Amino acid sequence: MVRRVRYADTPPADKRCGVDDKRRLILDQALALVDERGLAAMSMRAVAERVGLTSMALYPYVGGKDALLDGLVDLLHLELGAACADPGHLDWRQRLRALGRAVRALAHTHPGAFPLLLNRSAAGASASWLAAALRGVLHDAGAGAADEPRLARMICAFLLGYATGEITGGLPGSSPLDLSARAGPTSADCSGPLAAVTSGAPRRSEPPAPTAGETAGREGAGAAEFDADLEDLVRLVEVAVRGR
């Protein structure tokens, strides 16, 4: 039976839009905070300060910290979906390559938050976007209905796992992305009593930062390797389809 939705079932449109807009602003600022300082720096207080609210005032919009983290996962899915418009003229191989590159680009854009996609489940409407996109690719490739979920999970695990390993330094030969360039000043950078106390203390030597050429070369090599892996994925799907 179709349930008729009464006006009382939902808040007035203007009020509902206001809540959604405020929630999106809070999530955007939370993601920006994680981009700048890393996931460990995110707290309800830190996010509240960025949007000009008290910590308690955040709860009606995003709930507690766990719900806020889930909101970040949903926001990442939304961003991935927006980056992966599905042009009808592309065949499934081109769409799979484009999807893989978009996942890797998302990881490099949001290295602090991206690992959440592996260890948290999104609760919003966009949560199943990546899985649905992969199933669409596999359907067009000719995979059977029984094989689509398994192959989609396998490809999803590779894309998320590879990108996470690359940005965290978990892959052999990789090093974690440095967020310090995005972060604001720390207490060690500030003037005042603390600076006076620490100014005479010996500083721990830091490894030299890579040059622009070294960074570009490393990124180019990483992209080339990832593209080669995507070609392996394409061939794997082709073999799986032929074996039906």
What structural domains and CATH numbers belong to the chain? 10-63 (1.10.10.60), 74-178+216-244 (1.10.357.10)
Confidence class for position 199, pLDDT limits 50, 70, 90: very low
Distance, C-alpha 29 to centroid of its chain: 14
Distance, C-alpha 182 to centroid of its chain: 17
- How far is 54 from 48, CA to CA, in rounded Å? 5
Residue 187 has pLDDT above 50, yes or no: no
Residue 225 has pLDDT above 60, yes or no: yes
Residue 4 has pLDDT above 70, yes or no: no
**Higher model confidence: residue 226 or residue 178?**
226
Torsion angle of C-alpha atoms 19, 22, 24, 27, degrees rounded to 10: -120
pLDDT for the residue 3 = 34
Residue 194 has pLDDT above 60, yes or no: no
pLDDT for the residue 101 = 96
Confidence class for position 55, pLDDT limits 50, 70, 90: very high
pLDDT for the residue 119 = 84
Query: 127, 134, 29: which is closest to 70 by C-alpha?
Result: 127
pLDDT for the residue 33 = 97
Residue 2 has pLDDT above 50, yes or no: no
Encoding tokens for residue 88? Answer: 């009808």
> Average per-residue pLDDT in the chain?
77
**Higher model confidence: residue 106 or residue 127?**
106
CA atoms within 13 A of residue 33's CA, in its CB half-sphere: 22
Residue 182 has pLDDT above 70, yes or no: no
pLDDT-wise least confident of 40-54, 94-108, 122-136, 208-222: 208-222
Model confidence, pTM: 0.74
